[in-house]
Amino acid sequence: MVSSFADETSSPTLLLRGEGIFKTGFIMSLFRFLKYPTLWIIRLYQQTLSPDHGWFKFRHPRGYCRYYPSCSEYAYQVIKKRGIIVGIPKAIWRVLKCNPWNDGGVDLP
């Protein structure tokens, strides 16, 4: 039996196994590529607008954040360590936990 190239590339089983155009390696390299600009944006925020690290840290000499490390540093560490897929939801959850009804404390990534 002779099969054409179109039959092989459009097979749903090939796409399910990750052998099509959207290979798992391609998607993972895309997320790895997006990791570094995200880390750069967090560092830029820390150096400029952050009340703990940036231009306004003189207003809070003992620190502003109720957690250690601060939320932006936690986001930086967890994205660097675990990647963007796991890191961003954990960082968002950490920011949501930072409220007046929470005591804070040490929360390592």
Spans of all domains in the chain: 32-106
pLDDT value at residue 54: 82
Q: Which residues pair with 67 in a beta bridge?
A: 105
For residue 57, the one-letter residue type is: K
Q: Is the pLDDT of residue 106 over 80?
A: yes
Alpha-carbon span 14 to 21, nearest angstrom: 9
pLDDT value at residue 33: 84
Q: Does 2 or 25 have the greater pLDDT score?
A: 25
Instruction: Please state the separation of Cα 20 from the chain's center in Å.
Output: 27
pLDDT value at residue 15: 47
pLDDT digits over 23-59, tens only? Answer: 567 777 777 888 999 999 999 999 998 888 888 788 8
Strands (E), 1-107: 67-68, 105-106
Cβ distance 71 to 84 under 8 Å? Answer: no
pLDDT value at residue 79: 94
Q: Is the pLDDT of residue 7 over 90?
A: no
Q: Is the pLDDT of residue 90 over 90?
A: yes
Alpha-carbon span 73 to 64, nearest angstrom: 13
Alpha-carbon span 101 to 20, nearest angstrom: 49
pLDDT value at residue 23: 56
Q: Does 97 or 1 have the greater pLDDT score?
A: 97
Q: Does the N-terminal peptide bond of residue 69 adopt cis geometry, omega within 30 degrees of 0?
A: yes
Q: Does 48 or 21 have the greater pLDDT score?
A: 48
